[in-house]
């Protein structure tokens, strides 16, 4: 097994449906331009309230991806 080096970035995803969907939006969008995504960690969850109801979810995730060795 080879040694690996990883980089971490923070990405914020949003969704009107759910916090899970906000996470998926963040990961799927990041994966369009970042190779070798290996894991994520939710570090913050926020929301917007309208008329006493949750109207929008916003989730900050740390994304870990493996750097190419060459």
pLDDT in tens, 16-67: 999 999 999 999 999 999 999 999 999 999 999 999 999 999 999 999 999 9
Question: pLDDT at residue 12 above 60?
Answer: yes
38-43 LR contacts (CB < 8 Å, sep 24+): 38/6, 38/64, 38/65, 38/66, 39/63, 39/64, 40/64, 43/10
Q: What's the confidence (pLDDT) of residue 70?
A: 66
């Amino acid at each position: 097994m080879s040694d690996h080096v990883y980089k971490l970035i923070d990405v914020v995803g949003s969704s009107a449906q759910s916090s899970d969907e906000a996470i998926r939006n963040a990961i799927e969008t990041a994966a369009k331009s970042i190779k070798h995504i290996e894991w994520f960690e939710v570090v913050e969850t926020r929301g917007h309230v309208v008329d006493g109801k949750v109207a929008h979810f916003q989730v900050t995730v740390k994304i870990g991806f493996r750097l190419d060795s060459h």
